Structure 1
């Protein structure tokens, strides 16, 4: 269930359907297309992500994992991201799995910042989002900001492996 603060009362069904539909569509993409769509979302709303992630203040819990990723080779960094999406159990994906929901959102923001800075493998300049990814981006773009953050948060929360589960 999704709630929007300071908004008129709206049926949770009206909010949940487009949000859950966008989440399902996102998860239906192939691994690299999910990573590409995350990049496009970062490029379009990245600056708004950290203020929307209250756990960002606790990002120090993810700093060790971020440093570990920066120390990987580019191919290892890409494999780490793929392993997160595919929920493959590795020490790094399990370390991600214990982060809080908001810290996971902030982690992806920091990861994208590192990609942009060149300290983590960037998305190739020739990369083009496929038709399905473009459609899902359009679907997410039509949501209000709180719903967009909810979609993004739910997508990244589902990634990795929770070793305590």
Structure 2
């Protein structure tokens, strides 16, 4: 399920562009956001690899990742939904203390686990809705730095920060 669009260089303020796309993502349902994140991983994962895990200390995410892998597929999916919806529970609080880069790395690790079957996989026949495709198209038009900023902003807003 590869999607392609032409990349255009943005000359506007990075934060304005990222905020606009982020606002559009937030209009999607929880499952559509998760599906979009999967499609982003499938299409941009190779580029995200050095930006996420390379900048993070993955040993800090391993404890939570191990707990999530031990859950059933239904519980794993519920955990991801809880992250998106900011439901307060022990696992979302564990995620909430991660640094921004560790949160991005954690989602990358989840996606990697989805490809190996350790984490609930996306159904083979999954297709983004028209709204999801529209958002994905906006994301692919962003410059690489803007894409990483958007992804980081997306994952930073998830979970529950127990220190806040």
| Fold similarity call, TM over 0.5 | yes
In structure 2, the residue corresponding to 1:99 is in which secondary structure?
Answer: coil
What is the CA distance between 1:47 and its match in structure 2?
Answer: 1.6
Matched, 1:113 2:112: yes
Question: What aligned pairs does 1:39-54 form with structure 2 within 5 A after superposition?
Answer: 39-53=38-52, 54=54
Structural mapping, 1:61-72, within 5 Å: 61-72=60-71
In the alignment, which residue of structure 2 is the partner of 1:151?
Answer: 150
**How does the TM-score come out when normalised to structure 1?**
0.89
Query: Shift in Å at residue 48 of structure 1?
Result: 1.7
Aligned equivalents of 2:155, 2:135: Cα separation in 1: 16
CA distance in 1, matches of 2:14, 2:90: 36
Displacement after TM superposition at 1:65 (Å): 0.3
Structure 1 position 163, deviation (Å): 0.4
CA distance in 1, matches of 2:93, 2:14: 32
Structure 1 unpaired stretches of 5+: 1-9
Distance 2:144 2:87 in 1: 31
- In the alignment, is residue 124 of structure 1 matched against residue 123 of structure 2? yes
Structure 2 counterpart of 1:4 = none
The CA deviation at 1:14 is 2.7
1:55 aligns with 2:75: no
Secondary structure of 1:127's aligned partner: coil
State the partner residue of 2:99: 100
Q: What is the TM-score normalised by the length of structure 2?
A: 0.90
Structure 2: 5+ residue stretches without partners? 1-9
Whether the 8 Å CA contact 1:62–1:103 is kept in 2: the answer is: yes
SS in structure 2 opposite 1:107?
helix
Partner in structure 2 of residue 3 of structure 1:
none
Determine if contact 1:55/1:100 at 8 Å carries over to the other structure: no
State the match for 1:26 in structure 2: 25
- Please report how far the alpha carbon of residue 17 of structure 1 lies from its aligned counterpart in structure 2 after TM superposition: 2.1
Preserved CA contact (<8 Å) 1:98 1:163: yes
CA–CA distance in structure 2, aligned partners of residues 106 and 49 of structure 1: 9
Who is 2:161 aligned against?
Answer: 162
Say what the alpha-carbon RMSD is for the aligned residues.
1.4
Q: How many residues align?
A: 154
